Amino acid sequence: MDKETTTRMSEARISPRERLVLTAIIELYIATGEPVASQAVARFFENRDGLSSATLRNVMATLREAGLLEQPHTSAGRVPTAAAFRYYVEQITQPRLGSSSPMVASALVAMDSAASELSEARRGLIEGGYTGVSSSSEYLERTSHVLALISSGLGVALARSAADQVLEHLHFSRLSQGRVLAVVVTQAGAVLDRVLNIDREFTPVELETAARYLNENFRGWPIERIRSEVARRIELDRAAYDRMLAAVEELCRKGALAGDEHGPLIFVEGMANLIAAEVDRQRLREMLLALEAKQRLVELLTAYVDGRQQEVRVVVGLDEASPAMQDLVLIGAPARLGGGNLGTVAVIAPTRIQYQEMIQAVRYVARLSERYFEAPAG
């Protein structure tokens, strides 16, 4: 049975009162990090009719049977399960449907009052982290630092693969013998530069001619298609363009328009935050092994965050990616520019995180790219 099916079955069994108690337990657990005892829940609901200590114990027992609470030890309180956190995220990210009980409805509204927009201080902290940013690559690099700082988790920013982007302009310049700098500007506003190690020398005129040919013939083309089209044209009319196209072929073959051989550019910061949050040494080691391979992070973000979506995606329990990541949550969103996808920004943190604030923070950071960069006119 998959996670979504389990969550839907649990939801079907949750009454408004049970939902209220579950929300309180989750928020108490987030605040303290300790298993929540019935006495703590009773104090939370003190002086509210219909929620006596006996009633709360019965409700907590029902929630445990539904798979939404677990008891680490016989004498300990209750801890929310991954299914409970998924249910909680759905409740705080979807419009309130109302409740048949006025008491329950008013309590839920009170809980929602803390889920407002980011505070001015938090917005200032975020924006201060981008001081001096002048390129999309630098924006993404800073983003990993900013998200790690505000989440006490792992901040991740994944640049969109160059192969998926559209060419706006290309420039070549000779650096030294056997080395050429290629600067590619995409229509999404990204500036990509790489040094090419070439087998033969090109004159400045040849480099300029090669760049002009590519700019005049392939502006507005997906970069991935340009390489194959250049090869096709060379085969069709190699004699007429032999000298010019040979230079273009060499430059493209050496990687001027190639995606990064090691995968998309990815920035990661905040591993120490996860170390501080994890007390089980063996599970920590397994978790770090799961996260230290950047390719795994690329796969994780690609699988869970769709660049075409507009909103933040929250995934609680990443055990499908790795069993060691079952107690982690991913909160991610695409960073957009001029209607295109610049990349992906995300937080990976323990499930005991301030969900409402982090969802707002990731959304705010993702939208900052539009403020800092303007897409070139088409």
Q: What pLDDT does 287 receive?
A: 60
331/230: higher pLDDT:
331
Express each pLDDT in 233-255 by its tens digit: 766 655 554 556 566 667 776 66
How many Cα neighbours within 13 Å face the side chain of 82? Answer: 19
pLDDT beyond 60 at 362: yes
Angle between the 223-236 and 204-218 helix axes, to the nearest 10 degrees? 110
Cα 81 to Cα 78: distance, rounded to the nearest angstrom: 9
Average pLDDT over residues 14-19: 87
Cα 328 to Cα 222: distance, rounded to the nearest angstrom: 36
Q: Evaluate whether 3-112 and 163-253 have a shared fold.
A: no
Cα 262 to Cα 378: distance, rounded to the nearest angstrom: 31
Cα 139 to Cα 157: distance, rounded to the nearest angstrom: 9
> Which residues on neighbouring strands pair with residue 78, listed in sequence order?
36
Cα 273 to Cα 73: distance, rounded to the nearest angstrom: 27
Cα 324 to Cα 284: distance, rounded to the nearest angstrom: 8
3 state DSSP class of 157: strand
Q: How confident is the model at residue 15 (pLDDT cuts 50, 70, 90)?
A: confident
> Which residues on neighbouring strands pair with residue 69, listed in sequence order?
80
CB 155 within 8 A of CB 268: yes
Q: What pLDDT does 189 receive?
A: 66
Run of H or E including 48: none
Rg for the chain (alpha carbons), in Å?
26
Q: How confident is the model at residue 69 (pLDDT cuts 50, 70, 90)?
A: very high
Run of H or E including 337: strand 328-337
- The torsion region of residue 338 among left (phi > 0), alpha (psi -120 to 50) and beta comes to left
Q: Which of 170-179, 222-231, 266-275, 364-373 bottoms out in mean pLDDT, i.e. has the lowest? A: 266-275
Average pLDDT over residues 136-142: 80
Neighbours of 202 (CB within 10 A): 18
Cα 138–chain centre separation: 17
* Domain 3-112, classified CATH 3.30.465.10, yes or no: no
Q: How confident is the model at residue 299 (pLDDT cuts 50, 70, 90)?
A: confident
Q: Where are the domains of the chain?
A: 3-112, 120-160+263-372, 163-253
Cα 39 to Cα 45: distance, rounded to the nearest angstrom: 10
Q: How confident is the model at residue 163 (pLDDT cuts 50, 70, 90)?
A: low
Average pLDDT over residues 347-352: 86
User: What CATH class does 163-253 carry?
Assistant: alpha beta
Run of H or E including 78: none
166: DSSP letter = B
Mean pLDDT, the chain, rounded, equals 75
Express each pLDDT in 88-115 by its tens digit: 998 887 755 444 444 444 444 444 444 4
Fold designation for 120-160+263-372 = Beta-Lactamase (3.30.450)
Average pLDDT over residues 165-188: 84
CB 185 within 8 A of CB 191: yes
Cα 266–chain centre separation: 11
> Using CB atoms within 10 A of its CB, is residue 159 exposed (0-12), middle (13-18) or buried (19+)?
buried
The secondary structure of 341-360, three-state, reads: EEEEEEEEEECCCCHHHHHH
Q: DSSP strand E in 150-297: where?
A: 154-159, 167-176, 179-186, 191-197, 266-269
pLDDT beyond 90 at 122: no
Helix boundaries (H) for 196-241 = 204-218, 223-236
